[in-house]
């Protein structure tokens, strides 16, 4: 029987990828989780571990397969080795659902209790653990798949892990279709719809116009010396074509040169121009300090004054090498450009003054961490993210990344302006709805009216902790009310 369950689990995990962008079929996540919970029923801990791992391998193997592109193209290794490393990474990520299954069948009893309390709680706690363990990898957290469903109504209250919890509870209820507990499923979704009708924020002042510029430069050409001048000319000319925009935003490392190299020849004249125009410009650029340390930075220029933000949450193996003393051979193997950044001050709120207001800022990968983005709130009136997803080519990754960014807008109740190098650039409103978008590989700019907001969503009071505590309480209740007899250990 287990031999049949393993390939079924792998297939249902693979199908889970369709729940996320760019496919955005959120209902598939519900059925996929319901199928996994059904496959766990009646198994021993070892079998549940294998089923969970097979499901995770299907989901992560297909969902993050895009990693092989950056490893092969920019890591300087052969394609077969890049694929192998990607599959090993996926296999490690698959251990989280595997552990959820093992813990559920090892320490808890009662099928109904496991379905309604244990499986959903462990699912969320293991997703949350994956989001911070070893610097964290929150990609494909199940709650993101619900950004366009009624379950998104829970995001301003409980964050993305609260959405995951409600999704898992619904999946559990579907397994009890002969029980009154099945009514829990429509109740959860109707409550989510009701929460979507609540306006958590209050407008703060008049709207302003913002423009995002996308140069669409392939990563392999971005750092070529011959590319510097045409790149800067495109950004400047495109920005000057929008004199009515109060704020213009360029992507992460839009300027492919250290700030000290172009300070007098480029940054100072640009600052003067935008200040005279009554506009602000936010651009991505690498910065070196007096000690030679490099930072992935955002610099604001123009009417609101000059500001500087250093990226705080760096990408392992991409922007820094963890345990570099032990992994020196890998440091030499993966000769990725700009891969030795230092981290910015985590004690400093990630904010800059833009368009005359405080804005919460993040660079690329940072917008996948809701608690870190929330550190800019409630002072920030809107959010800005500058990214460069060119590392991942024409893959699922840029679309998945935008989906996660939309969740940050919904959690915080703020507009999000997301400028990327090769797409997808987008302007998102406070409900997570996309107002303007520039597709991948399209040069140009998008402009929209931005409404600043003030106030706090409930999520900003307790961040992810309420969802985590709720899941922990569910486990505690299940354990204290366990039935007689020893749990299965085989």
Q: How far apart are CA 140 and CA 169, in angstroms?
A: 18
The sign of the dihedral angle between the CA atoms of 73, 77, 78, 79 is: negative
DSSP string, 69-125: HHHHHHH---HHHHHHHHHHHHHHHTHHHHHHHHHHHHH---HHHIIIIIHHHHHHH
Known active-site residue 311: yes
How many CB atoms within 10 Å of residue 194? 11
Nearest to residue 56, comparing CAs of 89, 24, 104, 21? 89
418-432 in b/e form (b: 16+ CB < 10 A) is: bbbbbbbbbbbbbbb
CA dihedral of residues 25, 27, 28, 30 (deg, nearest 10): 150
What is the number of alpha carbons within 13 Å of residue 81 lying toward its C-beta? 9
**403 an active-site residue?**
no
Q: Which of 311, 319, 366, 403 is catalytic?
A: 311
Going 23 to 7 to 40 to 175, the CA torsion angle's sign is positive
Tokens representing 247 are: 């704020």
Of 127, 319, 364, 372, catalytic: 364
Q: Cα separation of 438 and 478, whole Å?
A: 48
The residue to which tokens 């969503």 are assigned: 457
CA distances from 455 to 156, 429, 458 (A): 12, 15, 10
Cβ-based neighbours of 11, under 8 Å, separated by 6 or more? 58
- Rounded to whole angstroms, the Cα distance separating 129 from 137 reads 9
**252, 319, 366, 411: which one is catalytic?**
252
111 is catalytic: no
User: Any bridge partners for residue 434, and if so which?
Assistant: 428
Task: List 360's β-bridge partners, or say none.
Answer: 351, 383
Residues marked active site are found at 252, 311, 364
């Amino acid at each position: 029987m287990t031999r049949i369950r393993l390939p079924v689990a792998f297939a249902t995990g693979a199908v889970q990828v369709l729940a996320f962008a760019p496919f955005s079929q959120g209902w598939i996540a519900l059925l996929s989780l319901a199928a996994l919970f059904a496959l766990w029923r009646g198994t021993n801990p070892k079998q549940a571990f294998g089923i969970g791992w097979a499901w995770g391998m299907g989901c992560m193997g297909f969902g993050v397969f895009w990693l092989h592109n950056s490893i092969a193209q920019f890591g300087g290794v052969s394609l077969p080795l890049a694929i192998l490393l990607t599959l090993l990474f996926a296999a490690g990520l698959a251990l989280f659902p595997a552990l959820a299954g093992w813990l559920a069948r090892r320490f808890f009893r009662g099928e109904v209790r496991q379905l309604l309390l244990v499986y959903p709680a462990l699912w969320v706690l293991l997703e949350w653990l994956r989001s911070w363990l070893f610097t964290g990898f929150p990609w494909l957290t199940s709650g993101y798949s619900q950004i366009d469903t009624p379950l998104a109504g829970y995001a301003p209250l409980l964050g993305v892990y609260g959405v995951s919890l409600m999704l898992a509870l619904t999946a559990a209820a579907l397994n009890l279709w002969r029980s009154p507990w099945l009514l829990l499923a429509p109740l959860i979704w109707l409550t989510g719809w009701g929460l979507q009708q609540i306006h958590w924020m209050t407008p703060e002042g008049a709207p302003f116009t913002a423009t995002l510029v996308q140069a669409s430069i392939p990563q392999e050409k971005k750092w070529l010396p011959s590319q510097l001048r045409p790149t800067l000319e495109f950004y400047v000319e495109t920005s000057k074509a929008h004199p009515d925009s109060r704020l213009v935003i360029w992507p992460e490392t839009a300027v492919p040169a250290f700030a000290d190299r172009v300070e007098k020849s480029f940054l100072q004249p640009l600052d003067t121009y935008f200040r005279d125009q009554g506009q602000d410009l936010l651009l991505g650029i690498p910065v070196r300090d007096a000690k030679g340390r490099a930072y992935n930075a955002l610099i604001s220029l123009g009417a609101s004054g000059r500001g500087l933000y250093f990226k705080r949450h760096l990408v392992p193996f991409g922007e820094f090498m963890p345990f570099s003393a032990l992994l020196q051979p890998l440091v030499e193997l993966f000769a990725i450009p700009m891969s030795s950044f230092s981290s910015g001050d985590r004690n400093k709120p990630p904010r800059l003054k833009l368009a005359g207001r405080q804005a919460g800022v993040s660079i690329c990968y940072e917008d996948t961490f809701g608690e870190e983005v929330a550190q800019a709130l409630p002072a920030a009136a809107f959010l800005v993210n500058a990214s460069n997803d060119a590392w991942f080519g024409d893959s699922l990754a840029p679309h998945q990344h935008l989906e996660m960014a939309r969740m940050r807008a919904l959690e915080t109740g703020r507009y999000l302006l997301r400028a990327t190098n090769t797409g997808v650039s987008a302007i998102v409103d406070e409900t997570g709805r996309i107002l303007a978008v520039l597709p991948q590989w399209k040069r140009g700019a998008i402009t929209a009216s931005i409404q600043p907001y003030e106030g706090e969503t409930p999520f900003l009071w307790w961040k992810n902790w309420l969802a985590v505590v709720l899941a922990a309480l569910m486990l505690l209740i299940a354990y204290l009310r366990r039935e007689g007899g020893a749990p299965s250990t085989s």
